[in-house]
A = this chain, B = another copy of it.
Amino acid sequence: MSKVNVAVLGATGSVGQRFIQLLENHPYFQVTHLCASENSAGKTYGTVMKKRWKISSDIPAYARDIIVTTPEPSKTPGAKLAFSGLDASIAGEVETAYANAGVHIISNSKNHRMVENVPLLSAEVNAAHLSVLPAQETSGKIITNSNCTIMGVTISLKPLFDLFGIEAVMLFSMQAVSGAGYPGVPSMDILGNVVPFIGGEEEKAEIEPLKCLGKVENGRIINADFPISAHCNRVPVFDGHTVCVSVKLKKKATEQEIRTAWSSFKGEPQELGLPLAPSSPIVYREEEDRPQPRLDLDTGKSMSTVIGRLRPDPLFDWKYVVLSHNTIRGAAGAALLNAELMYKKNLL
A190→B237 CA distance, assembly (Å): 10
Contact status of A231 and B177, CB under 8 A, knowing A187-B190, A236-B191, A294-B193: no
Number of interface residues of A (CB under 8 A): 61
Q: Is the CB of A56 within 8 A of B242?
A: no
Q: Which of A44-86 contact B (CB under 8 A)?
A: 50-51, 54-57
Q: Is A96 interfacial (CB 8 A cutoff)?
A: no
> Which residues of chain B are near A174, meaning CB under 8 Å?
174, 194, 233, 235
Shortest beta-carbon distance, A273 to chain B, in Å?
23
A186→B181 CA distance, assembly (Å): 10
Please tell me how many copies of the chain the complex holds.
Answer: 4
Q: Is the CB of B314 within 8 A of A227?
A: yes
Contact status of A196 and B236, CB under 8 A, knowing A187-B191, A231-B172, A314-B228: no
Q: Is the CB of A172 within 8 A of B236?
A: no
> Which residues of chain B are near A315, meaning CB under 8 Å?
168, 170, 227-229
Chain A interface, DSSP helix/strand/loop, else mixed: loop
Q: Which of A156-212 contact B (CB under 8 A)?
A: 168, 170, 172, 174, 177-178, 182-197, 206
A186→B196 CA distance, assembly (Å): 19
> Which residues of chain B are near A206, meaning CB under 8 Å?
314
Q: Is the CB of A188 within 8 A of B296?
A: no
> Which residues of chain B are near A116, meaning CB under 8 Å?
none
Q: Is the CB of A54 within 8 A of B235?
A: no
Q: Is the CB of A196 within 8 A of B229?
A: no
> Which residues of chain B are near A303, meaning CB under 8 Å?
none
Chain A 135-150 against B: per-residue CB contact (8 Å), 1 yes, 0 no?
0000000000000000
Q: Is A38 interfacial (CB 8 A cutoff)?
A: no
Contact status of A244 and B231, CB under 8 A, knowing A56-B295, A192-B192, A196-B308: yes
A324→B228 CA distance, assembly (Å): 27
Closest to A296 in B: B56
Among A260-268, A284-292, A329-337, the one that faces the other chain is A284-292
Which single member of B57, B177, B313 contacts A229 (CB below 8 Å)? B313
Contact status of A238 and B191, CB under 8 A, knowing A56-B298, A233-B244: yes
Q: Is A215 interfacial (CB 8 A cutoff)?
A: no
Chain A 290-309 against B: per-residue CB contact (8 Å), 1 yes, 0 no?
11111111100000000011
Q: 10 more A-B contacts (CB under 8 A) besides A193-B292, A206-B314, A231-B321?
A: A51-B287, A170-B246, A174-B235, A177-B187, A187-B187, A189-B294, A191-B238, A192-B237, A228-B315, A235-B236
What are 23 residue pairs bridging A and B, where the CB atoms are less than 8 Å apart in the complex? A54-B188, A54-B189, A55-B295, A56-B294, A57-B298, A168-B315, A172-B172, A174-B235, A182-B188, A183-B188, A185-B186, A191-B238, A192-B236, A196-B291, A197-B309, A206-B314, A228-B315, A229-B313, A231-B246, A231-B319, A231-B321, A233-B244, A235-B235
